[in-house]
Structure 1
């Protein structure tokens, strides 16, 4: 499992201070978007690695009237 990384402040600063409509500006925004995509993929991987909740009781006398998790 990969570690969750955050978008660095310098990446955000570069993207926000790059001149709009220039190659530099487009490249800075592409780097920012790629960083955010990688961060989202890492977060999704962490969420998917969480264990599933146990199945709730559907029959019998125990656990069918009120389900409580401690």
Structure 2
């Protein structure tokens, strides 16, 4: 999102209601993302067998 548009609108004496709505929707989105991230399972790096990730095959 281009924040210069928001700051320009707030400086020009525009109606503050859209800015309040924008901030509220951004807060709601942040809360939704935080909830989704908390629901993800925790993956430990030790869950893979020890022989994986030791070699890289390169073909040209």
- TM-score normalised by length of structure 2: 0.52
The answer to whether 1:31 aligns with 2:21 is yes
- The SS at the match of 2:27 is helix
1:21 corresponds to which of 6, 13, 16 = 13
- The SS at the match of 2:46 is coil
Cα offset for 1:55?
5.0
Q: Which consecutive unaligned segments of at least 5 residues does structure 2 have?
A: 1-5, 54-60
More helix by share: 2
- Measured in 2, the distance between the counterparts of 1:67 and 1:50 equals 24
Alignment correspondent of 2:38: 48
Alignment correspondent of 2:3: none
4+ aligned runs moved over 3 Å, structure 1: none
CA RMSD of aligned residues (A): 2.9
Q: Which has the higher contact order (CA 8 A, sep 6+)?
A: 1
